[in-house]
Amino acid sequence: MSSQNKLREKICLLAKSLFDRGLTGGSTGNISARCEDGSLLVTPTGSSFGSLDPNDLSCIDAFGRHVSGLKPTKEMPLHSAFYETRKSAGAVVHLHSCYSVAWSMMPEVDPENVLPPLTPYSIMRLGKVKLLPFFMPGDSAMGDALRGLGGKHTAVLLANHGPVVAGKNLEASCHAMEELEETAKLAILMRGFHPRMLTPSQVKNVVTEFEVEWW
Protein backbone atom coordinates (compact mmCIF):
# COMPACT_ATOMS: atom_id res chain seq x y z
CA MET A 1 0.00 0.00 0.00
CA SER A 2 1.37 3.43 -0.95
CA SER A 3 2.03 6.05 1.73
CA GLN A 4 -0.85 8.16 0.41
CA ASN A 5 -3.27 5.23 0.61
CA LYS A 6 -2.13 4.53 4.16
CA LEU A 7 -2.80 8.16 5.02
CA ARG A 8 -6.25 7.94 3.45
CA GLU A 9 -7.06 4.95 5.63
CA LYS A 10 -5.72 6.66 8.74
CA ILE A 11 -7.82 9.80 8.15
CA CYS A 12 -10.97 7.71 7.92
CA LEU A 13 -10.06 5.59 10.95
CA LEU A 14 -9.36 8.55 13.23
CA ALA A 15 -12.36 10.49 11.94
CA LYS A 16 -14.65 7.56 12.78
CA SER A 17 -13.11 7.34 16.25
CA LEU A 18 -13.89 11.04 16.84
CA PHE A 19 -17.42 10.55 15.51
CA ASP A 20 -18.13 7.39 17.52
CA ARG A 21 -17.10 9.13 20.74
CA GLY A 22 -19.36 12.11 20.10
CA LEU A 23 -16.64 14.68 19.44
CA THR A 24 -18.40 15.72 16.26
CA GLY A 25 -21.76 14.70 14.83
CA GLY A 26 -23.82 14.62 11.66
CA SER A 27 -21.83 16.00 8.75
CA THR A 28 -19.80 18.44 10.86
CA GLY A 29 -16.04 18.72 11.12
CA ASN A 30 -13.21 18.37 8.63
CA ILE A 31 -9.68 17.01 8.51
CA SER A 32 -6.75 17.57 6.18
CA ALA A 33 -3.31 15.97 6.09
CA ARG A 34 -0.18 16.72 4.09
CA CYS A 35 1.21 14.02 1.79
CA GLU A 36 4.90 13.44 1.07
CA ASP A 37 4.63 15.28 -2.25
CA GLY A 38 3.16 18.40 -0.64
CA SER A 39 -0.42 17.71 -1.71
CA LEU A 40 -3.27 17.61 0.81
CA LEU A 41 -5.90 14.98 1.49
CA VAL A 42 -9.08 16.62 2.74
CA THR A 43 -12.44 15.36 3.92
CA PRO A 44 -15.21 16.25 1.43
CA THR A 45 -17.87 18.88 2.03
CA GLY A 46 -21.06 17.53 3.58
CA SER A 47 -19.44 14.23 4.58
CA SER A 48 -19.84 12.47 7.92
CA PHE A 49 -16.84 11.41 9.96
CA GLY A 50 -18.75 8.23 10.74
CA SER A 51 -18.82 6.93 7.15
CA LEU A 52 -15.88 8.32 5.18
CA ASP A 53 -14.62 6.41 2.15
CA PRO A 54 -10.84 6.66 1.62
CA ASN A 55 -11.37 6.86 -2.14
CA ASP A 56 -13.69 9.87 -1.82
CA LEU A 57 -11.21 12.12 0.02
CA SER A 58 -10.39 15.29 -1.87
CA CYS A 59 -6.84 15.70 -3.11
CA ILE A 60 -5.50 19.25 -3.36
CA ASP A 61 -2.14 19.61 -5.11
CA ALA A 62 0.76 21.73 -3.88
CA PHE A 63 -0.59 24.67 -5.92
CA GLY A 64 -4.00 24.57 -4.24
CA ARG A 65 -5.83 22.91 -7.14
CA HIS A 66 -8.49 20.27 -6.56
CA VAL A 67 -7.21 17.35 -8.62
CA SER A 68 -9.25 14.32 -7.52
CA GLY A 69 -11.94 13.04 -5.18
CA LEU A 70 -15.12 14.76 -4.08
CA LYS A 71 -15.44 18.52 -3.54
CA PRO A 72 -13.37 19.52 -0.47
CA THR A 73 -14.76 21.05 2.70
CA LYS A 74 -15.86 24.67 2.47
CA GLU A 75 -13.51 25.37 5.39
CA MET A 76 -10.43 25.06 3.17
CA PRO A 77 -9.45 28.69 3.93
CA LEU A 78 -8.79 27.64 7.53
CA HIS A 79 -6.70 24.65 6.54
CA SER A 80 -4.74 26.55 3.88
CA ALA A 81 -3.94 29.38 6.31
CA PHE A 82 -2.51 26.98 8.86
CA TYR A 83 -0.30 25.22 6.30
CA GLU A 84 0.90 28.56 4.93
CA THR A 85 1.82 30.03 8.30
CA ARG A 86 3.01 26.91 10.14
CA LYS A 87 5.41 25.02 7.89
CA SER A 88 5.70 22.25 10.48
CA ALA A 89 1.98 21.45 10.21
CA GLY A 90 1.32 17.98 8.85
CA ALA A 91 -2.41 17.89 9.58
CA VAL A 92 -5.30 20.16 10.58
CA VAL A 93 -8.48 19.12 12.42
CA HIS A 94 -11.60 21.27 12.80
CA LEU A 95 -14.55 20.09 14.89
CA HIS A 96 -17.80 21.45 16.27
CA SER A 97 -17.18 19.70 19.60
CA CYS A 98 -19.79 20.58 22.21
CA TYR A 99 -17.77 21.83 25.18
CA SER A 100 -15.33 23.83 23.09
CA VAL A 101 -18.18 25.61 21.33
CA ALA A 102 -19.93 26.22 24.66
CA TRP A 103 -16.75 27.64 26.20
CA SER A 104 -16.28 30.00 23.24
CA MET A 105 -19.51 31.72 24.25
CA MET A 106 -18.67 32.29 27.92
CA PRO A 107 -18.26 35.97 28.84
CA GLU A 108 -15.18 35.40 31.02
CA VAL A 109 -13.10 33.78 28.27
CA ASP A 110 -9.78 35.53 27.60
CA PRO A 111 -9.54 35.95 23.80
CA GLU A 112 -5.74 35.81 23.97
CA ASN A 113 -5.62 32.59 25.99
CA VAL A 114 -8.93 30.76 25.87
CA LEU A 115 -8.21 27.78 28.09
CA PRO A 116 -7.77 28.28 31.84
CA PRO A 117 -4.65 26.61 33.30
CA LEU A 118 -6.44 23.65 34.87
CA THR A 119 -3.95 20.94 33.88
CA PRO A 120 -0.45 20.92 32.37
CA TYR A 121 -1.55 18.90 29.36
CA SER A 122 -3.49 21.55 27.51
CA ILE A 123 -0.47 23.84 27.88
CA MET A 124 1.92 21.13 26.64
CA ARG A 125 -0.14 20.14 23.62
CA LEU A 126 -1.74 23.42 22.60
CA GLY A 127 0.14 26.42 23.95
CA LYS A 128 -2.08 29.48 24.09
CA VAL A 129 -5.34 29.04 22.18
CA LYS A 130 -6.56 32.24 20.54
CA LEU A 131 -10.28 33.06 20.30
CA LEU A 132 -11.25 34.33 16.86
CA PRO A 133 -14.53 36.20 16.31
CA PHE A 134 -17.58 34.72 14.64
CA PHE A 135 -17.45 34.28 10.87
CA MET A 136 -20.00 32.79 8.52
CA PRO A 137 -19.06 29.15 7.81
CA GLY A 138 -16.78 28.96 4.78
CA ASP A 139 -15.96 32.68 4.87
CA SER A 140 -12.46 33.21 3.48
CA ALA A 141 -12.01 35.93 6.11
CA MET A 142 -11.42 33.14 8.63
CA GLY A 143 -8.26 32.25 6.76
CA ASP A 144 -7.19 35.89 6.70
CA ALA A 145 -7.71 36.16 10.46
CA LEU A 146 -5.62 33.05 11.01
CA ARG A 147 -2.85 34.34 8.75
CA GLY A 148 -2.87 37.52 10.81
CA LEU A 149 -1.61 35.49 13.77
CA GLY A 150 1.65 34.87 11.92
CA GLY A 151 1.82 31.16 12.69
CA LYS A 152 2.24 31.76 16.42
CA HIS A 153 -0.58 29.45 17.48
CA THR A 154 -1.14 25.73 16.97
CA ALA A 155 -4.83 26.07 17.80
CA VAL A 156 -7.63 28.60 17.61
CA LEU A 157 -11.22 28.58 18.77
CA LEU A 158 -13.81 30.11 16.45
CA ALA A 159 -16.49 31.87 18.46
CA ASN A 160 -19.87 30.10 18.33
CA HIS A 161 -18.39 27.60 15.87
CA GLY A 162 -15.59 25.33 17.05
CA PRO A 163 -11.86 24.62 17.46
CA VAL A 164 -9.18 24.26 14.78
CA VAL A 165 -5.91 22.52 15.62
CA ALA A 166 -2.73 21.99 13.60
CA GLY A 167 -0.11 19.39 14.50
CA LYS A 168 3.03 17.79 13.14
CA ASN A 169 1.00 14.79 11.98
CA LEU A 170 -2.52 13.42 12.02
CA GLU A 171 -2.27 11.68 15.38
CA ALA A 172 -0.76 14.72 17.09
CA SER A 173 -3.51 16.96 15.72
CA CYS A 174 -6.28 14.63 16.90
CA HIS A 175 -4.72 14.20 20.35
CA ALA A 176 -4.33 17.94 20.78
CA MET A 177 -7.92 18.47 19.64
CA GLU A 178 -9.15 16.01 22.25
CA GLU A 179 -7.10 17.78 24.93
CA LEU A 180 -8.72 21.08 23.94
CA GLU A 181 -12.19 19.60 24.21
CA GLU A 182 -11.47 17.93 27.56
CA THR A 183 -10.06 21.16 29.00
CA ALA A 184 -13.11 23.09 27.80
CA LYS A 185 -15.28 20.42 29.45
CA LEU A 186 -13.37 20.81 32.72
CA ALA A 187 -13.76 24.58 32.51
CA ILE A 188 -17.53 24.25 32.07
CA LEU A 189 -17.79 21.72 34.91
CA MET A 190 -15.74 23.92 37.24
CA ARG A 191 -17.51 27.15 36.31
CA GLY A 192 -18.68 28.88 39.50
CA PHE A 193 -16.68 26.57 41.80
CA HIS A 194 -13.52 28.71 41.91
CA PRO A 195 -11.16 25.81 41.16
CA ARG A 196 -7.51 25.80 42.22
CA MET A 197 -5.69 26.43 38.93
CA LEU A 198 -2.01 26.17 38.09
CA THR A 199 -0.11 29.20 39.35
CA PRO A 200 1.78 31.47 36.93
CA SER A 201 5.07 29.95 38.12
CA GLN A 202 3.76 26.43 37.55
CA VAL A 203 2.64 27.40 34.06
CA LYS A 204 6.06 28.89 33.38
CA ASN A 205 7.75 25.67 34.54
CA VAL A 206 5.59 23.58 32.19
CA VAL A 207 6.31 25.92 29.29
CA THR A 208 10.06 25.77 29.95
CA GLU A 209 10.27 22.04 30.63
CA PHE A 210 8.33 21.02 27.53
CA GLU A 211 9.57 23.83 25.25
CA VAL A 212 6.05 25.08 24.58
CA GLU A 213 5.46 27.91 22.11
CA TRP A 214 3.96 30.47 24.48
CA TRP A 215 3.24 33.74 22.71
What are the residue numbers of the active site? 75, 121
Q: How far apart are CA 211 and CA 127, in angstroms?
A: 10
- Contact predicate 45/17, CB 8 Å: no
Q: How far apart are CA 17 and CA 27, in angstroms?
A: 14
- Contact predicate 188/127, CB 8 Å: no
